[in-house]
Structure 1
Amino acid sequence: MQCMLLSTAGASLPLADGRAVIFGRGPESRVSDKKCSRHQVKLVANYEDRTVLVTQLGANPSFLGDRALGRGQSGRLTEGSTLYLVNQKYPFTVQFSGDSNGASSPTLPKANEIDPKETKKEEQREKPKRSIQDFFPASPKKVWLVDTYLRTLPNTSSVKRPSSQDNELSAKRFCPPGSSGGEADAESVIEEKLKRLQEFAESASKCESVPSAAMGSAPCTKNCWEQRGSLMIFTAAGVVAREKVRTKAGLGLILMGASSPPNQAKILYPEIQPKLASLLKKGFKVVFFTNQMGISRGKLRPEVFKSKVEDVLATLKLPIQVFAATASGIYRKPVIGMWEHLCQKANDSITVDKLQSFYVGDAAGRPVNWAPGKKKKDFSCSDRLFALNIGLQFHTPEEFFLGWKPAPFVLPTFNPRTCDPNARLYDPPDASLTCSQQEVVVAVGYPASGKSTFFHKHIVPKGYVYVNRDTLGSWQNCVSACERGLKEGRSVAVDNTNPDPESRKRYLDVSQKMGVPCRCFLFTTSLEQAKHNNRFREMMPANKHATVNDMIFHSYKNKFIEPSLSEGFSEILKIRFVPSFPDTQSEALYKQFSEG
């Protein structure tokens, strides 16, 4: 049987049985009306009763006949009724064809007719690993992906992996377009293998279950969502908490980074589903971690994201827990807030053994051309750094699911773990931070390079007038405040970025006019460390600093000219960033990589 959604404008959309589709404004619907959201409705066809379940997602109402649907409301579209996509406009009807007892979809067959004995033979058969070249045909004409996508990541450290018997799709059984069998044969072969993979995963999840007493706590009885600040958590029915690994075949976690926007979600490789099913049978808990900043920025509605997560897991047919960081802060990878919440509050108080757990993710810091046909570099290194912050072994999806060799990668130039709280604060070491005579001190350095903390700790307590543009509003006000302080007979400390000679000359001119020396304190914090400091501030509850965006950092970098004595300074001191922390928790947070 087939199901088609048809419009009077000539648009058509195939709907597979039981598979959710997000539908709205765009080329598929031929609707360009801005009142129609790109995620206007969710459609789920039911071949058995020949209806389509319509769930409203967009801000403006859709209509089933004369009935308006509010956001989150649902209704059934039958063959005799009409769906108006938005505001009683853009009519669509549904058409079913074929026998309801037939296959549910030509491209996504139902998995219900496999002989368990044959499955057992298939599982036990030795299969060679696929070569990297198998995935890069000379002239690919089709994308061989299932309807939901999981993105994951790489590392060179080794981990005990399942044997080659867990690779359910071998190079011998994979026939890409352009092979000797022809495209039609290739398509039928792929369809059949994907069907068998789905069937195997279903049978694996139903059979050979381990009693909960041996595995961990009792399984979750139903799907559920919860919200903890900027953290969203989905726990699928059947998820079981896992205890600390105590045997070679014991329990652990496979952690996967999910980086794709939800409207682009697809399963990356057909090996993913059977491999995860195999790991679940061996006692692993599977957890996905994803950054979804689009939610806090208003670019992605939570209900759309939730719907897609549920659709992805329905396709996988596996009990999986999902953590989504919706804003910046301690939950956003590579900072380990999501991991800590899992261990402390979302695993039924069962300790996780990190040595037996591992992480798979695709934001791995791989460069351009890291593999044949892979022209683009990884969009970030956040997954690899997330695993590094936690202390987990790490793999890319290609390494773990396909058996490829580790690819090259690049880590950030700044390593927060190397910061030394006992380092020398300034150079030259025989210089004095303050002067008994009246003077002007001009700071030069990136935002978040530690200037304000330094001045308030070492300079202002000595009676210096503190001049800062953040509080005074403009450089003109800063210059005036500097001049007033000198007229009052006090020394002045100017805490601004002052990247170029022009900005510094304003204070040199005032000091020369008043006949006092002017020194420069050059803060040597790098761009990468300044950005790290900025993110650390965001995560601290008592933070009093305004958040700095990347544009300001790079503006400073482009304008920066290193100060010299020839500008008129009497001395230039180089000030290092030497961190100090109120407690061990703050120090541990600072020493995590915070951006990939």
Structure 2
Amino acid sequence: MIRQCFLRCLLDSHAPVKLPHNVEVFVGRSKVTKIKDQSCSRQQISLKADCEECEVEIKPLGINPSGLDGFALKRNGKYKVKHGSRIEILLNSYIHIIEFDPPPDKESNKNNNKRKLEEEKIEISPRKKSKIQSELDQTINTKEAMNNVWEDVDKGEVYIFTAKGVKSSHKIAAFDMDGTLIKTKSGKVHPVDTNDWQIAYPQTSQKLLEKFNDGYKIVILSNQSPIGNGRVKIEEFKKKIEGIVAKLNIPIQVFLATGKGFYRKPAPGMWKVLAEQKNDNLSINMDTSFYCGDAAGRIANWAPGRKKDHSMADILLAKNLGLKFYTPEQFFLGHSIANIPTSKPEFNPKELKPEPFNEALISKEKELLVLVGFPGSGKSFLAKEIVKRSGNKYSIVCRDEMGTWQKCASEASKLLQQGKSVIVDSTNPDKESRARWTSLAKNMNVQCRCARMMTTKAHALHNNKFREIMKMKHVQVNEIIFNTYKSKFVEPSLAEGFQEIIQVKFNLCFDDKESENMYRMYLLEK
């Protein structure tokens, strides 16, 4: 088979230019390349392919510099490049790739690329030389997506679109989609259908192109629960994504979280898939990578007439990952955010400290111990800890398991008659719900104490989300239940018939470091 050589436009704005064996071909401003930029000469660069050695000799001819992998080439200098090299017709613009068909042997190409610096004899500083070597190694170890590809993870919990031309990188430029890269045509907060979108800023495409030309991989991370709950069909949304990427005219990899668990921002699931599965095993440089999104927790009128941000999901994702964060106005328009007022999360999991077990929770006397607290406040864990530390002198009655308080009361009576102390694992927010237990204790002639969980609503919601993410065996609780508890809650008092009320702080306990690391992240969007 006779090997052929082509110069292919990275954005596929024109057909590949064939480079015949040992024939000098001139490329520049022309109808073939569709380059209209007057700063680009008609004969900007010459290329002569050697299809036997799989190398191309290039000679920059234009007044304005051409580039190789982001660095300027000397006019009339001669350079030899290999398969996969990135040629910039104008420095940082009109990027093309050298391709041989069939491609050369991978190992041979790898060794040739590593010798590129010496062969080309480019006069550059050691610092720039190191940077070029790093970028060359990256080019060697990764491959460019040759076609548009859709995939899904965890049975549709995440959908991934990789556009043709996407290439893995140590540097990631990640963006939210709605309110960041696009906005609605209708002017409504939420799109009326999958066609209700337009590019958010005139500068969007150019800014993305600049980052792309600087070696960044452009990524979108977007929460899209309407797909998960069936309000939007995934096939229709796929067309929307493909349309957006085509309009931006930049190779982009898109991640769509359709559920409410590990993959939904600010949880790190989408980023974890990107880093571990969709970046060709290249480590991501977290210092040079960044994330841009509009959910930054800005309060109402942060700018004249502007509404408050719908959440903090984007800025909290950046905090979880340790990424530099930009708002869309800051990144695309150059606005300062120094004096913009923002809200902060009610609960910061990073500040939570371990609390020692309170030995006073275990009584020497037979008793009924009534727990009071939000769903997710740590009641069940505390109850099990008391049973274990008491040597099984206590038993638990749990409404989540038995269904009604009547069944719990019946079981508690039997256990007390058997000589056991009983822990009532239920929310018990008001006097009425607690009176059932003080009355039972009085009838059974045992003491009744109260353990009041001091876990706040925001903290309990965090715990509930953590259970969901870690797929623990707990019934997931709707936020309405939390609000109902809060509205009903009355602080317990001794006047209700309790001998003692013990305030209990939430105690951290993890099976492994990975679980603790997840717990310490921001998991709530507000």
- Give the structure 1 partner of residue 513 of structure 2: 584
Contact 1:441 1:492 in 2 (8 A): yes
- Give the structure 1 partner of residue 335 of structure 2: 404
Q: For 1:183-204, what per-residue CA distance to the aligned partner results, in whole angstroms no more than 9, with x for missing partners?
A: xxxxxxxxxxxxxxxxxxx999
- Give the structure 2 partner of residue 388 of structure 1: 319
Cα distance in 2 between the residues matched to 1:399 and 1:587: 33
- Give the structure 2 partner of residue 496 of structure 1: 426
- Give the structure 2 partner of residue 379 of structure 1: 310
Contact 1:434 1:462 in 2 (8 A): no
Structure 1 spans left out of the alignment, 5+ residues: 1-111, 121-201, 244-251
Query: Could you say if the C-alpha distance between residues 328 and 469 of structure 1 is closer, same or farther in structure 2, counting changes exceeding 3 Å?
Result: same
Contact 2:159 2:255 in 1 (8 A): yes
1:206 is displaced (CA, Å) by 6.9
- Give the structure 2 partner of residue 416 of structure 1: 349
- Give the structure 1 partner of residue 36 of structure 2: 115
Contact 2:386 2:394 in 1 (8 A): no
Contact 2:207 2:332 in 1 (8 A): yes
Cα distance in 1 between the residues matched to 2:511 and 2:415: 33
Q: Which amino acid aligns with 1:207?
A: Y
Query: Could you say if the C-alpha distance between residues 330 and 313 of structure 1 is closer, same or farther in structure 2, counting changes exceeding 3 Å?
Result: same
1:218 is displaced (CA, Å) by 2.4
Q: For 1:35-84, what per-residue CA distance to the aligned partner results, in whole angstroms no more than 9, with x for missing partners?
A: xxxxxxxxxxxxxxxxxxxxxxxxxxxxxxxxxxxxxxxxxxxxxxxxxx
Task: Establish whether residue 464 from structure 1 lines up as the match of residue 388 from structure 2.
Answer: no
- Give the structure 2 partner of residue 256 of structure 1: 175
Query: Could you say if the C-alpha distance between residues 364 and 203 of structure 1 is closer, same or farther in structure 2, counting changes exceeding 3 Å?
Result: farther
Task: Establish whether residue 220 from structure 1 lines up as the match of residue 150 from structure 2.
Answer: no
Q: For 1:258-304, what per-residue CA distance to the aligned partner results, in whole angstroms no more than 9, with x for missing partners?
A: 24655443211111111101111111111000011111211111101
Q: Which amino acid aligns with 1:536?
A: F
- Give the structure 2 partner of residue 337 of structure 1: 269
1:445 pairs, out of 353, 373, 392, with: 373
Cα distance in 1 between the residues matched to 2:379 and 2:473: 14
Contact 2:387 2:395 in 1 (8 A): no
Cα distance in 1 between the residues matched to 2:398 and 2:280: 50
1:119 is displaced (CA, Å) by 8.7
1:485 is displaced (CA, Å) by 2.1
Contact 1:215 1:240 in 2 (8 A): no
Structure 2 spans left out of the alignment, 5+ residues: 1-32, 42-88, 99-134, 180-190
SS of residue matched to 2:360: coil
1:305 is displaced (CA, Å) by 1.2
- Give the structure 2 partner of residue 319 of structure 1: 251
- Give the structure 2 partner of residue 47 of structure 1: none
Higher relative contact order (CA 8 A, sep 6+): 1
Q: For 1:158-191, what per-residue CA distance to the aligned partner results, in whole angstroms no more than 9, with x for missing partners?
A: xxxxxxxxxxxxxxxxxxxxxxxxxxxxxxxxxx
Query: Could you say if the C-alpha distance between residues 444 and 487 of structure 1 is closer, same or farther in structure 2, counting changes exceeding 3 Å?
Result: same
Cα distance in 2 between the residues matched to 1:204 and 1:264: 37
Cα distance in 2 between the residues matched to 1:213 and 1:414: 45
Contact 1:362 1:383 in 2 (8 A): yes
1:113 is displaced (CA, Å) by 7.8
SS of residue matched to 2:199: coil
Contact 1:465 1:490 in 2 (8 A): yes
Cα distance in 2 between the residues matched to 1:468 and 1:203: 71
Cα distance in 2 between the residues matched to 1:367 and 1:204: 42
Task: Establish whether residue 507 from structure 1 lines up as the match of residue 428 from structure 2.
Answer: no
Structure 1 segment 444-593 matched on structure 2, within 5 A? 444-459=372-387, 461-541=391-471, 543-593=472-522
1:214 is displaced (CA, Å) by 6.0
Structure 1 segment 210-289 matched on structure 2, within 5 A? 213=136, 216=139, 217-229=142-154, 230-243=157-170, 252-259=171-178, 262-289=194-221
Query: Could you say if the C-alpha distance between residues 357 and 591 of structure 1 is closer, same or farther in structure 2, counting changes exceeding 3 Å?
Result: same
- Give the structure 2 partner of residue 362 of structure 1: 294
Cα distance in 2 between the residues matched to 1:295 and 1:339: 19
- Give the structure 2 partner of residue 77 of structure 1: none
Cα distance in 1 between the residues matched to 2:302 and 2:422: 53
Contact 1:205 1:277 in 2 (8 A): no
TM-score between the two structures when normalised by the length of structure 1: 0.63
Q: Which amino acid aligns with 1:524?
A: M
Q: For 1:539-577, what per-residue CA distance to the aligned partner results, in whole angstroms no more than 9, with x for missing partners?
A: 114x11110110101100000011011111101111111
Query: Could you say if the C-alpha distance between residues 265 and 408 of structure 1 is closer, same or farther in structure 2, counting changes exceeding 3 Å?
Result: same
Q: Which amino acid aligns with 1:310?
A: E
Q: Which amino acid aligns with 1:442?
A: V
Contact 1:419 1:578 in 2 (8 A): no
SS of residue matched to 1:363: coil
User: What's the C-alpha RMSD, in Å, of the aligned pairs?
Assistant: 2.2
Q: Which amino acid aligns with 2:495?
A: S
Q: Which amino acid aligns with 1:357?
A: S
Query: Could you say if the C-alpha distance between residues 437 and 333 of structure 1 is closer, same or farther in structure 2, counting changes exceeding 3 Å?
Result: same
- Give the structure 2 partner of residue 20 of structure 1: none
Query: Could you say if the C-alpha distance between residues 504 and 561 of structure 1 is closer, same or farther in structure 2, counting changes exceeding 3 Å?
Result: same
Contact 1:209 1:281 in 2 (8 A): no
- Give the structure 2 partner of residue 169 of structure 1: none
Query: Could you say if the C-alpha distance between residues 308 and 280 of structure 1 is closer, same or farther in structure 2, counting changes exceeding 3 Å?
Result: same
1:475 is displaced (CA, Å) by 1.4
Cα distance in 2 between the residues matched to 1:239 and 1:525: 46
SS of residue matched to 1:507: helix
Contact 1:329 1:539 in 2 (8 A): yes
Contact 2:177 2:221 in 1 (8 A): yes
Q: Which amino acid aligns with 1:219?
A: E
Cα distance in 1 between the residues matched to 2:351 and 2:418: 44
Q: Which amino acid aligns with 2:146?
A: T
SS of residue matched to 1:117: coil
Cα distance in 1 between the residues matched to 2:90 and 2:231: 39
Q: For 1:20-46, what per-residue CA distance to the aligned partner results, in whole angstroms no more than 9, with x for missing partners?
A: xxxxxxxxxxxxxxxxxxxxxxxxxxx
Cα distance in 2 between the residues matched to 1:346 and 1:387: 19
Count of aligned positions:
389
Contact 1:210 1:281 in 2 (8 A): no
